[in-house]
Amino acid sequence: MADESVRSDWATKDFYKELGVSKDASADEIKKAYRKLARENHPDSNPDDAAKHERFKRVAEAYDVVGDEAKRKKYDEMRSLYGGGFGFGGGQGGGFPAGSGAGRGYSFEDLFGDRGQSGGGGFGDMFGDLFGGGATTGGGFGTRRTRARATKGQDVESTATIGFNESLEGVTISLRLTSDAPCPDCSGTGGKPGTKPKVCPECDGAGYIVNGVGGAFSLNETCPRCGGRQLIYDEPCPTCMGSGRGTSARTIQARIPAGVKDGQRIRLRGKGGAGENGGPAGDLYVTVRVTGHRVFGRKGDNLTIDVPISFDEAALGAEIKIPTLTGAPVTLKIPSGTPNGRTFRVRGKGARKADGTVGDLLATVEVQVPAVLDATARAAVEAYRDATAHKPLRSKLFDDPSQA
């Protein structure tokens, strides 16, 4: 959690000593020491020992800081300043130049407090620049700065219906979206316009609270009082009732890529709800519905078509014309003796793939049986039946299965 605010009391606490490790200890050494001490002092194992309960809290606090790489870096920088000759706490300060007033001693308020001088806050300004500006609260160094945490915007779901040809070629569509957004009156702060925030006393401006779950582990949970915003207002915004959220309706242009399939879910980055406190916008997820086509269907990256043929074309063979979706018709050669349901492949006449290549057209033949025969056709069919009567089609159905 690289952006967590620095606690003002870190400079006066030796977290390495609390864990029994050196300042140069590795992350694994710190974790091992924490787990050992947490097991030894956990309240579940020592229900009546108040001293160990307190020890467990100190160990957990120490690990929360030096067990996190970003916090540890800030802590080390603060401790380096603290131990580098600046006399915090009323004793004589070492390392101040002659005539600077070090002989009288310096308190946290002297060095880091906001005394209202025209020259600025001295080290208070330096720490504000180092660890982030924002709302302030007293304690420890006199003034601690807290920056509201940036939050990613809400992800938005939508559905779009496009035509069959559009799904193959790609299309730009307009979408009307309604999404969660910062309240327009308070800009997402949750406070009444014109009022000033203060650091949440529940989480001390962290935006979360630490909840022990047993054993050597703990969980960070969003602060129930500030909702993770780190700041609270005495007077809530009357528009959003302190939630900081509202709704936004807008129309956007969305590009549906070529080759999209029916039911496919497309992610459009940054097209969702607006972020909070400078956070990025959420994403838009569009579920695409593709309408059917009168002639063509689709199977993966291939198009499909059902082609009716006559009995004589199937039996004797033929060359027939079939349509393609976007180009001129092509000639399909039907070999003699083609069975009903056979599928032929016409290469390069299918759907466009994601890599820019094109799939194939799969043509399945369906032998048509005429519902009505005129006298000439009936005579021809009867002649055919007489000619093939010695070759019964179903003779194998009556073979003895034991002879198989």
Residue 1 has pLDDT above 70, yes or no: no
Predicted pLDDT at 83: 57
The CA-atom distances, in angstroms, between 215 and each of 17, 50, 54, 222, 365 are: 22, 17, 16, 21, 69
- Alpha-carbon gap, residue 365 to 339, rounded angstroms: 8
Q: How far apart are CA 190 and CA 156, in angstroms?
A: 22
Same domain? For 251 and 271 the reply is yes
% of the chain at pLDDT higher than 90? 24
Average of pLDDT values for 349-359? 82
- pLDDT at position 226 is 80
pLDDT tier at 301, thresholds 50, 70, 90: confident
Last residue of a domain, one of 290, 314, 339: 290
Tell me the pairing of strands 284-290 and 343-346. Answer: unpaired
pLDDT at 339 over 90: yes
Mean per-residue pLDDT for 178-201? 80
Domain ranges, residue 31: 10-146
2 occurs within a structural domain: no
Model pLDDT, residue 75: 86
Judged against a pLDDT cut of 60, whether residue 364 lies above it is answered with yes
pLDDT at 334: 94
Same domain? For 104 and 178 the reply is no
What's the mean pLDDT in 19-30? 92
- Reply yes or no on whether the pLDDT at 141 is more than 50: no
Supply the CATH number for residue 345's domain. 2.60.260.20
Within a domain: 213:
no
Structure confidence at residue 122 (pLDDT): 39
Rounded mean pLDDT, 303-308: 95
For the cut 90, the answer to whether the pLDDT of residue 360 exceeds it is yes
Indicate whether 360 and 336 sit together in one domain.
Answer: yes
What number is the average pLDDT over the span 34-42?
86
Neighbouring C-beta atoms of residue 103, cutoff 10 Å: 11
* The pLDDT of residue 346 is above 90: yes
What is the pLDDT at residue 288?
93
Q: Do 274 and 307 belong together in one domain? A: no
Kind and range of the H or E element at 136? strand 135-137
Q: What is the pLDDT, as a whole number, of residue 117?
A: 40
CA distance 123 to 107: 12
CATH number for the domain spanning 108: value is 1.10.287.110
CA dist., res. 292 & res. 296, Å (int): 8
Mean of pLDDT over the chain: 77
CA 386 → CA 48, 141, 312, 375, 393, distances in Å? Answer: 105, 110, 17, 16, 14
Same domain, 38 and 114: yes
pLDDT of residue 60: 87
Is residue 211 a part of any domain in this protein? no
pLDDT digits (tens, 9 = 90+) for 51-64: 888 888 888 888 98
- Kindly tell me if the per-residue pLDDT of 303 is higher than 90: yes
- Does 189 fall in a domain? yes
User: Per-residue pLDDT tens for 238-292?
Assistant: 888 877 777 777 788 888 888 888 999 999 888 887 776 678 888 889 999 999 9
Rank 31-40, 239-248, 330-339 by mean pLDDT and report only the highest.
330-339
CB 227 within 8 A of CB 257: no
Name the band, by pLDDT with cuts 50, 70 and 90, for residue 304: very high
The answer as to whether 228 is a domain residue is no
Residue 222 belongs to a domain: no
How many independent structural domains does the chain possess?
3
Confidence of residue 142 (pLDDT cuts 50, 70, 90): very low
Of 46 and 137, the structure prediction assigns the larger pLDDT to 46
Q: 124-128, 197-201, 361-365: which has the minimum mean pLDDT?
A: 124-128
Q: What is the amino acid identity at position 391?
A: K
With contact defined as beta carbons under 8 Å apart, do 362 and 301 qualify? no
Model pLDDT, residue 106:
38
Rg (CA), the chain: 38
pLDDT at 375 over 80: yes
For residue 129, being part of any structural domain is answered with: yes
User: What is the pLDDT, as a whole number, of residue 82?
Assistant: 63
Nearest alpha carbon to residue 148 among 211, 202, 197: 197
Are 95 and 168 part of one and the same domain? no
Q: Yes or no: say if 345 and 359 are a contact pair by the CB < 8 Å rule.
A: no
CA distance 72 to 386: 97
Asked whether residue 358 carries a pLDDT value surpassing 80, the answer given is yes
What number of H helices and E strands is found in the chain? 9, 17
What is the average pLDDT across 91-119? Answer: 38
Is the per-residue pLDDT at 30 higher than 70? yes
- pLDDT for residue 290: 93
* Contact of 288 with 263, CB cutoff 8 Å: yes
Report, as an integer, the average pLDDT of 73-79: 84
Dihedral of CA atoms 248, 253, 257, 263 in degrees, nearest 10, equals: 40
Q: What is the pLDDT of residue 147?
A: 55
Averaged pLDDT for residues 394-398:
79
Instruction: Please indicate whether residue 127 or residue 209 has the higher confidence score (pLDDT).
Output: 209
Q: Give domain status of residue 215, yes or no.
A: no
Across 99-103, 118-122, 274-278, 373-377, the highest mean pLDDT is recorded for 373-377
